[in-house]
Chain A
Amino acid sequence: NRLPEEVGRCFAFCPPSVLTSRHLAWDYFSKGRNESEDSKLRFETYQLIWQQMKSETERLQEELNKNLFDNLIEFLQKSHSGFQKNSRDLGCQIKLKEIPTAALVLGVNVTDHDLTFRSLAEALQNNVTPYVVSLQAKDCPDMKHLLQKFFSQLMDCCVDVKSKEEESVQVTQKKTHCSMDSLCSWYMTVTQKTDVKMPSKKRTTTSQWQSPPVVLILKDMESFTTKVLQDFIIISSEHLHEFPLILIFGIATSPIIIHRLLSHSVSSLLCIELFQSLSCKEHLTTVLDKLLLTTQFPFKISEKVLQVLTNIFLYHDFSIQNFIKGLQLSLLEHFYSQPLSVLCCNLPEAKRRINLLSDNQCENIRRLPSFRRCLHKFTSSLPKYPLGRQIRELYCICLEKNIWDSEEYASALQLLRMLAKDELMTTLQNCFTIFKSSPEKHLGNIAKKIEEFLAQFQSLDGENAKEEEDASGSQQKGLQKTDLYHLQKSLLEMKELRRTSKKQTKFEVLREKVVNFIDYLVREYLLPPETQPLHEVVYFSAAHALREHLNAAPRIALHTALNNPYYYLKNEALKSEEGCIPNTAPDICIAYKLHLECSRLINLVDWSEAFATVVTAAEKMDANSVISEEMNEIIHARFIRAVSELELLGFIKPTKQKTDHVARLTWGGC
């Protein structure tokens, strides 16, 4: 092995194979700072939970995509079968020029698209045709490359399907020029071959056509150049009768882009059908619902953490995958840094572990989420969504503080008090089913109570229907015709009126009861997790760590290090007021500070002198001696080093505009 000190391009270090013992991840987990004996158990719990979460998200993804894919496949089959039937018909002749095209609007979370396309290609290969090719814009700067890529990927599809004996032939073909003609002839030979083979081989659904279509997926339609796209579409529409092509456009922005990219004459060659994937926001909601708002996973994250993650999602990338990554990181951090996290597992297991640890209690905080959702059912039916439109917002609020202290809660209750009977009953019904479905025994009582309420409502119906009609009738009229402001106003007036006449209907009494009951429930069960004992076991709250590792700000770190060295080097000599640095600071900080005073160009001589002035002053504090020539040289050398370091960091660069000048690359500075 060469020494690492010897500087060169790159070195590989291969220890003798005997030595290469494979380290497992949990080695590092336990060898870190926490030496406690249960680290292995913790790591295993981590892996278990993570695996479960991962498979759950994958399942979710599949589920969410399923609908879209089904529609797509149906479209492909339909358009292709139409193409096959009778090509002599005149209408078909015209239609023959039109390439069936599916425009797939996927949203701006581009990084997640790969996964979608991969599963889409898989689904198509299983259900429609073996010939599925997906291309990216960056592989196709011009027509030639596009065809080449297309061709070679088609070959690969073919190899997958058929025996590999023909591979040699195809490789030679790869290098030959690719044109639409050669594609067509290739297609002819391939389909004829499969025709011959067909009877002998059992095929899946692919065999339902003698000539399966060729599906081309353009992953990022927006980045393709207009010329390439137009040429390709025109050419392939000419060959459509012998080469049954189907296009799928992956669109990140909006379908208008098709018409913006393609001229009318070209887009008229396409027979476009639009498919919209689930919006990423919905997707996030589902993921949150299934991962965090269930009792299935014991791991929970605190309000701050959740906010960091959702903010990264909403403000930065819209990427579910990144969200999941953040979740994984927080899970890992939780288990790595929180020794008590060993208890973070499902309830019976936790109980067992508690017994083992002779620890005393683990609160069943887990019953919270199910109730939370019930509250959401209530609030989401209200106009304006005072508690947030998404359940995640509500969750966030709940995690943060006592919910009943918030104004929004008060207003929500107010609105609840004004709900008409029908709506109240349906929401109660909903709540009832939710409570019923939740496995906790504890909530059974509540469900019973709600059932009672419902029964009371129904009996009310029968008893004094007439009186009811008056009250609710006028209410509903108000609801339909005026806006809420007027409704509330008039309702308040009505209430006043009634109070004076002391004619509160039974319905209103009951409604009051229900609302009070809900209020009681909220206060009972929606305690913020921080007030619960042992909440650290299941709640991960180190939001700053997460932010630091996922959403780092290297520029600010650099600026701080240069501008305020005391922040990192806790030396009293470096302590200074805001906006200035002491002259004993590291060389690079001084040079940086000086360069901030310059505009676009910096004279090196001036700079060096200024630097020398500062540094000599600093040196002389220590030794009261006259500056020697050697000293001067050393200072100059230090200046050179500082300048070249600043160049490496990208603050300045050499320039030829003026001799011995450098150009500044950053704006501003104090």
Chain B
Amino acid sequence: TSKLEIKEDKMLEVQFVGDDDVLNHILDREGGAKLKKERAQLLVNTKKIIKKPEYGLEEDDQEVLKEQNYVEVLGRDVQESLKNGSATDGGNKVYSFQNRKHSEKMAKLASELAKTPRKSVSFSLKNDPEIMINIPQSSKKHSASDKVQLKNNDKSEFLSTPPRSLRKRLIVSRSHSDSESEYSASNSEDDEGIAQEYEEDTNAVILSQKIEAQNRVVSAPVCKETPSKKMKRDKTSDLVEEYFEAHSSSKVLTSDRTLQKLKRAKLDQQTLHNLLSKVSPSFSAELKQLNQQYEKLFHKWMLQLHLGFNVVLYGLGSKRDLLERFRTTMLQDSIHVVINGFFPGISVKSVLNSITEEVLNYMGTFRSVLDQLDWIINKFKEDSSLELFLVIHNLDSQMLRGDKSQQIIGQLSSLHNIYLIASIDHLNAPLMWDHAKQSLYNWLWYETTTYSPYTEETSYENSLLVKQSGSLPLSSLTHVLRSLTPNARGIFRLLIKYQLDNQDNPSYIGLSFQDFYQQCREAFLVNSDLTLRAQLTEFRDHKLIRTKKGTDGVEYLLIPVDSETLTDFLEKEEEEA
């Protein structure tokens, strides 16, 4: 069996060796295959003479070792630097396949987290991952026979997939009890509950072990027949199956409860803000310490910006305050542009506009964004005394993450007298940049985990539980409209009013362009349909309107915001006027 274990170890490393092969292939490109063969032969032979290895496995081990070496060097080991995520477990967890999960798991974990204060958590939770790993495999492998077996077992419903109806009932009853009972540590009833839980847990462990044992019985003869290759295939096919298991099944079993049944309605942005302001922040001392640590880097950032690098900040938590502090302490005496990437109406064009208009004081217009970019680049190349700092909050925001936008910002940042410091938050943000863009940006990465809430960043987001208001919440509507010309605002107001007048009409599909043009003319807002079209394009860019072709081929304009918000907006506008 020890031999088998070794082989298993080896198999775990198989993925890595692939990389090595690729590398070898590349390295030996000019050498050609012939040379490679020769070399390999020699390698084996000399080793035999000099070292006289006793078993053939050694070479593989060495290779593995080499790979580990690589992983060690590139993957960050924890002891070496304080500010890096722990690589070994982290990587596995982020990149592993998803197991089939059951909805009760969450409630279960929650109750465990809640019930058990600090230390004793460990016991029950230690078991937990084990269960989670074992179950999906077992339930999949022994589909038919096991199910029958399990049905007999009273407590096993949680583990395998019972008939749906039963399941549903179960969930409802369970969650019901969850919400009603108030878990308190001192409650005797609750202690019973814990005990029961534990029972269930142990039960589960036993059960899964049983299944595993069965598993082994099944797989053992197979192993004997064809030792390693078969097993390898088994493993990979397992992985494949797991993948399809997680992704193919169209039915995902979740409970059918909706928020409506819950007493708490959706909150709007303002109440949410008020409520949250009552929460006293925890760990403020530690957070402060973290922030101080980062502030010490300000000078270094400035130095590195001046030397041709650009700085990007990543890590959990809003980095807005940090960047703002950087701006106020370091950039007071220099020209700089702050770009709020999370703002819904942002676009590269507005970034370029603020550079041309406000920094370079140029009021002309440009044929295209690329023209504008060329103009800016020329300006900065001509006048090397010009210096500009770009501070971009959320470079990875919805509106800026596009390929074109990134290309343009990258080209700006590659100028030696434009300094860029930016923050990214999205999990997949680095995917925005291919090698070409990365070399344009010339990033230096800094991890600044702050844990501060993303207050500003999420306030525009069309959040799930915040009162839904079409595609744009009121505040962002106001903000976007405030940045427009009075005429544009007038045009938009016209459309709002028309839409509100027709809100009770179920067959209303929007205002046709011709009618709209007529109305705008009458209100002296536009003088030609071209101006109106240009205006509409801008609205569309900001996602303020949507156009639809009717059955008659006429364009209809619609504001994709619910009428409530629109009424609120109009009221607010009138108040201000």
Contacts and interface: CB of A to CB of B under 8 A. Distances in A.
A321 B41 CA distance: 36
Contact of B252 (A329, A414, A601, A640): A601
A648 interface: yes
A643 B458 CA distance: 10
Contact of B121 (A415, A576, A639): A576
Contact of A552 (B90, B257, B445, B464): B445
Contact of A613 (B183, B282, B290, B430): B183
A449 B257 CA distance: 90
Contacts of B85: 553, 556-561, 567
A372 interface: no
A557 B458 CA distance: 21
Q: Nearest 10 A-B pairs (CB), nearest first?
A: A552-B445, A485-B45, A560-B85, A610-B110, A617-B114, A12-B358, A561-B316, A25-B306, A556-B85, A637-B275
A647 B458 CA distance: 9
B49 A568 contact: no
B74 A548 contact: no
A616 B115 CA distance: 10
B174 to A, nearest CB: 10
B522 interface: no
Contacts of B483: 8-9
A578 B89 contact: yes
Interface string A540-568: 00011101111111111111111111011
B517 interface: no
A657 to B, nearest CB: 8
A659 B258 contact: yes
Interface stretch (A116-124, A451-459, A588-596): A588-596
B492 interface: no
B376 interface: no
A644 B84 contact: no
A483 B405 CA distance: 60
B61 to A, nearest CB: 15
Contacts of B327: 4
Nearest to A408: B50
B146 interface: no
Given A560-B85, A582-B121, A609-B107, A28 B259 contact: no
B338 A13 contact: yes
Contacts of A21: 333
Interface string A449-484: 000000000000000000000000000000000011
B568 to A, nearest CB: 19
Interface stretch (A60-68, A178-186, A310-318, A519-527): A310-318
B262 A33 contact: no
Interface stretch (B191-199, B340-348, B504-512, B530-538): B340-348
Interface string A375-400: 00000000110100000000000000
A567 B86 contact: yes
A5 B545 CA distance: 28
A488 B49 contact: yes
Contacts of B272: 637, 640-641
Contact of B275 (A545, A614, A620, A633): A633
B3 interface: no
A576 B46 CA distance: 51
Interface size class of A (residues with CB under 8 A): 35 or more
B359 A649 contact: no
A219 to B, nearest CB: 10
Interface string B275-286: 110110011001
A14 B358 contact: yes
A234 B286 CA distance: 69
A384 B327 CA distance: 57
Contact of A485 (B49, B81, B91, B283): B49
Interface in A3-49: 4, 7-15, 19-25, 28-29, 31-33
Interface residues of B, number: 158
B336 A12 contact: yes
Interface string B255-271: 11111011010010001
Given A644-B463, A648-B454, A559 B299 contact: no
A654 B283 contact: no
Contacts of A597: 101, 105-106, 108-109
Interface stretch (A70-78, A338-346, A436-444, A661-669): A661-669
21 contacts: A7-B479, A13-B331, A14-B359, A110-B435, A329-B444, A386-B46, A549-B445, A554-B314, A555-B427, A579-B129, A590-B113, A595-B106, A601-B254, A605-B257, A609-B178, A614-B114, A634-B275, A637-B272, A639-B465, A647-B464, A667-B246
Nearest to A17: B335
A650 B49 contact: no
B451 interface: yes
A557 B82 CA distance: 12
Interface in B226-256: 246-247, 252-256
B184 interface: yes
A488 B52 CA distance: 13
A554 B426 CA distance: 9
A336 to B, nearest CB: 7
A611 interface: yes
Contacts of A29: 299, 303
Contacts of B354: 9-12
A111 B279 CA distance: 49
A407 B335 contact: no
Interface centre among B89, B183, B337, B385, by most A CB within 10 Å?
A: B89
B335 to A, nearest CB: 5
Contacts of B466: 640, 644
B573 interface: no
A88 to B, nearest CB: 44
Interface centre among A551, A556, A581, A602, by most B CB within 10 Å?
A: A556
Contact of A638 (B258, B276, B439): B276
Interface stretch (B7-15, B22-30, B494-502): B22-30
Contact of B258 (A545, A555, A605, A633): A605
Given A605-B255, A609-B110, 8 more contacts: A111-B435, A111-B438, A329-B309, A581-B113, A603-B256, A605-B258, A640-B267, A644-B463
Interface string B164-185: 0000000000010011001110
Contacts of A644: 454, 458, 461, 463-466
A621 interface: yes
Given A384-B43, A556-B91, A648 B457 contact: yes
Given A20-B335, A669-B93, A583 B114 contact: yes
Interface in B36-86: 39, 41-43, 45-46, 48-51, 70, 73-76, 80-81, 83-86
Nearest to B88: A556
Contacts of B152: none
B334 A588 contact: no
Contact of A633 (B95, B264, B286): B264
B319 interface: no
A549 B316 contact: no
B525 interface: no
A47 B245 CA distance: 58
Contact of A551 (B74, B179, B303, B315): B74
B160 to A, nearest CB: 15
A52 interface: no
A311 B451 contact: no
A29 B351 CA distance: 30
Interface string A486-524: 001100000000000000000000000000000000000
A139 B70 CA distance: 39
Interface string A84-112: 00000000000000000000000000110
B429 interface: yes
